[in-house]
Amino acid sequence: MPRKKRARVEKPPLHVVSLSGGKDSTAMLLLMVEQSMPIDMVVTADTGMEFPEMYRHWDQVEQYLLRKRGLKLTILRHPEGFERMMFDHPVNRAEEWQHVTPYGYGWPGIKKGRWCTGQLKTHLINKAVSQLRKTHKIFHYVGIAADEPERIKGEHYPLCDWGITEAQALQICYDRGFDWGGLYEIYHRCSCWCCPFQRIDELRKLRRHHPQLWAKLLDMDDRALAQFGHNALGRFKDHWTVAELEERFSAEDREISLFDSDKKKGADVMNVLVVEPGMAPYEKEINGLEEMQAVVGGPISALYPFKETTVLVVNDEGINLGLEFNRSIEGGYGGVFGTFFVCGLNEDKFCSLTPEQMEHYKQKYLKAEVLIALNGNKPFTFKVDPRPRIPPDTPKHPPKKPGR
Ligand code: SF4
């Protein structure tokens, strides 16, 4: 007897929208609703470390979804959450980490991996979607903007299909009254406030605009250092603990008040010592903030490594911008990347170096340094003779004499 063919049962479709809560996924969801596209489920993963404004945003989105489609948000949460994973989760450590407690992943980092993104976000969403695939034909929509095509990986990306960029996505949300309580006016990114992958500038803003979260970050940092030590698990960033950042930002605050008093009194011309990577130091007259920024090539930051009343003024983002290594600096600062200058400090403002100080720092930074390796923020270097410096108004290639 011929065998009967089993009828193939089509799985019913299920349209699932991933909502991180950021501008791209929110804009995608709003437009999908407006364009009457099918939506059966909107899922989001809560790491527990979102900004309070983000939780309010999710509430606002849910109210909107309830009104428009009668849908609630499906919020996925790992049973342990960020802090328990970071400090208490049992971990099988590699051999070189056997000396460290077997509990807690420590701070996420480039070398250690983003365990948090994997376990608290993508794994939860992928697991939920895979589960649904058993019974449904899944259409999974992900909010990636048209200017990030490298992130596309085989789901549905309506923003890319519509050619909507990140800037347009934000405007779409603003136009419809979704403004995250101003979060995007302050920060470039609005995911976990405790993320070690944030730029230094974002952390500076966190300290200024969310002091309670900053205080909590300091506590987490203390606990991580005490539990794991000054290593890749315990240090917030490769080159910074949160406490070191606190010191840096406080020093910057003092510096801003120096600039303020400078403005009140009228900026004086200062005689400073400029130190460029690879070059011998030289004297220069500087007048005011703009000239200081021009010397270091960007926003300035002050370091106070010396006991005497002198300051190193450096490019705030030197290492992140990939500027050339310049000189090693004592006092736990490690090294400076990019050009810096040394000036004096009197009670209420930056000032000229005295002739003795000028001579002292000329000798100190006479030799250039070549960076061999960095261990944390500790540079290993060897000293070399400085390259000859071409004065700025000397043409590098003198014009050729006209031939006969
Ligand atoms: S934003 Fe940062 S801390 Fe949060 S899950 Fe992603 S990598 Fe981890």
Rounded (to 5) percent helix, strand, coil in the chain: 40, 20, 40
pLDDT band at 251 (very low <50, low <70, confident <90, very high): confident
| Beta-carbon contacts of residue 109 (< 8 Å; ≥ 6 apart) | 196, 232, 237, 238
pLDDT band at 391 (very low <50, low <70, confident <90, very high): low
**Distance, C-alpha 39 to centroid of its chain:** 34
Q: For 228-242, what is the mean pLDDT?
A: 90
- The residues lining ligand 1, judged by C-beta closer than 6 Å to any ligand atom, are 47, 108, 114, 116-117, 120-121, 191-192, 195, 197
| Beta-carbon contacts of residue 220 (< 8 Å; ≥ 6 apart) | 83, 86, 194, 242
Residue nearest atom 6 in ligand 1 by C-alpha distance = 117
Give yes or no for a contact between 301 and 315, defined as CB atoms under 8 angstroms apart.
yes
Residue 163, CB-side half-sphere exposure with 13 Å CA sphere? 0
Whether 284 has a pLDDT exceeding 60, the answer reads: yes
**Distance, C-alpha 230 to centroid of its chain:** 20
Structure tokens at 42: 């909107």
Q: Give the nearest ligand 1 atom to 191 CA.
A: 1
Helix (H, G, I), strand (E, B) or coil at 344: strand
Distance from Cα 192 to the centre of ligand 1, integer Å? 6
User: Poorest-confidence range of 67-76, 117-126, 194-203, 345-354?
Assistant: 345-354
Residue nearest atom 5 in ligand 1 by C-alpha distance = 117
We find that the CATH architecture of domain 13-228 is 3-Layer(aba) Sandwich (3.40)
Backbone φ, ψ for residue 165 (5° rounding): -85, 175
Give yes or no for a contact between 291 and 272, defined as CB atoms under 8 angstroms apart.
no
- Give the Cα separation of 125 and 103 in Å (integer): 25
State which of 46, 197, 237 you would mutate to test the pocket of ligand 1, scoring each by most atoms of that ligand within 8 A of its C-beta.
197
Give the bridge partners for 138, in sequence order: 14
Domain layout of the chain by residue ranges: 13-228, 268-384
- Give the Cα separation of 288 and 371 in Å (integer): 32
247 burial via Cβ count (<10 Å: 0-12, 13-18, 19+): middle
Give yes or no for a contact between 387 and 278, defined as CB atoms under 8 angstroms apart.
yes
Whether 151 has a pLDDT exceeding 70, the answer reads: yes
* pLDDT of res. 333: 77
What is the crossing angle of helices 23-34 and 166-175, to 10°? 60
**Percent of the chain having pLDDT more than 90?**
62
- Give the Cα separation of 217 and 160 in Å (integer): 36
Whether 256 has a pLDDT exceeding 70, the answer reads: no
* pLDDT of res. 399: 46
Q: For 344-370, what is the mean pLDDT?
A: 89
| Beta-carbon contacts of residue 347 (< 8 Å; ≥ 6 apart) | none
Residue nearest atom 3 in ligand 1 by C-alpha distance = 195
376 burial via Cβ count (<10 Å: 0-12, 13-18, 19+): middle
Q: Give the nearest ligand 1 atom to 49 CA.
A: 4
Structure tokens at 139: 């259409």
Element (H, E) at 75: strand 73-76
Distance from Cα 117 to the centre of ligand 1, integer Å? 5
Selected residue with higher pLDDT from 266 and 305: 305
| Beta-carbon contacts of residue 134 (< 8 Å; ≥ 6 apart) | none
Whether 336 has a pLDDT exceeding 80, the answer reads: yes
Whether 292 has a pLDDT exceeding 70, the answer reads: yes
* pLDDT of res. 152: 75
pLDDT digits (tens, 9 = 90+) for 96-149: 888 889 999 999 987 667 899 999 999 999 999 999 999 999 999 999 998 877
Q: Give the nearest ligand 1 atom to 198 CA.
A: 2
| Beta-carbon contacts of residue 374 (< 8 Å; ≥ 6 apart) | 334, 335, 380
Q: Give the nearest ligand 1 atom to 115 CA.
A: 8
The pTM (predicted TM-score) of the whole model is 0.68
State which of 44, 117, 124, 125 you would mutate to test the pocket of ligand 1, scoring each by most atoms of that ligand within 8 A of its C-beta.
117
Distance from Cα 233 to the centre of ligand 1, integer Å? 15
pLDDT band at 11 (very low <50, low <70, confident <90, very high): very high
* CA-angle at 105, arms to 101 and 109, nearest 5°: 125
| H runs (alpha helix) in 176-210 | 183-186, 200-209
State which of 49, 123, 191 you would mutate to test the pocket of ligand 1, scoring each by most atoms of that ligand within 8 A of its C-beta.
191
For residue 18, which of 148, 122, 162 has the smallest C-alpha distance?
Answer: 122
Structure tokens at 89: 């989760």
For all residues of the chain together, what is the average pLDDT? 87
87 burial via Cβ count (<10 Å: 0-12, 13-18, 19+): middle
59 burial via Cβ count (<10 Å: 0-12, 13-18, 19+): exposed
